[in-house]
Amino acid sequence: MSLKSLLVAAALTLAVSAPASAQTPASSASNPGAFPRNPNIDIVYVRPTDRKFDLIHDRMRQLEVLQTLQEFLSPLKLPGKITVKMDQCGGALTVPYKPPGAVTVCYEHLASIRDTAPQDGFVSFGQGRELTADQAVAGGIARLILYETSFAVFDVLKIPVWGRIEEAADNVTALIMLDFGEEMAWTTILGSAWYLAQRGLLGTGFFSDAARPLEAQRFYNYLCFAYGAQPKSYEFLVNGFNLPPDRAKLCREEFFKLRRAFRATFMRHVDPVLIERVKSRKNWLPL
């Protein structure tokens, strides 16, 4: 599978469009028939200084991935501006959000997701259950953008967080991905879990929490929320290599606890009409 084909699928997930190093107005006034965009989310594409990231930068601009983020988050009533940018991060995968700064999605992280796609073109979870390389890349990038953006959302909305804010960001990201239809859930949850598994490999060919404990925890959390939300659809994950049976017993309770917390904190900031329109759109992940 070519680099170009992987990036096309990934960029169609949650995309960007902006003149290099400039903000793009978050308005669809020039295209009245377009899906509405959140007026308080600005997007920026910074051209990388390292030429090896040029293709990622150019394809995401062309395919308007971050504009799709503006549309996807259109129901969110933000009292202040959030800027989401893609930028080169000096070799780091992430740049922590520091209010009131911009949310940064690193080209290095996008490249890492691309590079860990299944080398055979797909990974099989059993008959009829295959995650393609395109889906793995698209799902991993969708999670990354939603995850990084959630830190700014917590800040602007003054959402109280108990415990690790990184875990809270993962929890919110997982719940959103599970709430927008089967295709979105499958691609984003399994794509995210695949990437986190590759980040924790010991070299034996199987995922192990002995390598990178944080990636292990996040891997199990994403699978647990998927199983808790839809036990019949994701029952195949309950085994020795993916979701341990002892952990699976708690997943249903964990999912409902997360959903209750989400509804109590976030839903007051969501436009009920727009959220139904967003959920009715079927092509957020046009793979």
pLDDT of residue 198: 86
pLDDT tens, residue by residue, 78-98:
999 999 999 999 999 999 999
DSSP string across 183-203 = HHHHHHHHHHHHHHHHHTB-S
pLDDT of residue 185: 92
pLDDT of residue 127: 73
- Judge whether 19 and 45 are in contact, CB under 8 Å: yes
pLDDT tens, residue by residue, 142-153:
999 999 999 999
For the segment 182-200, the average pLDDT, to the nearest whole number, is: 89
pTM confidence score: 0.85
What is the C-alpha separation between 273 and 217, in angstroms, rounded? Answer: 36
**For residue 108, is pLDDT > 90?**
yes
Three-state DSSP state, 42: strand
Among candidates 227, 226, 219, which has minimal Cα distance to 198? 219
Output the CA angle 190-95-221, nearest 5 degrees. 30
Q: Going edge to edge, which strands form the sheet with 22-24?
A: 22-24, 41-45, 82-87, 103-106
**For residue 5, is pLDDT > 70?**
no
For the segment 132-148, the average pLDDT, to the nearest whole number, is: 94
Among candidates 120, 125, 115, 134, which has minimal Cα distance to 241? 125
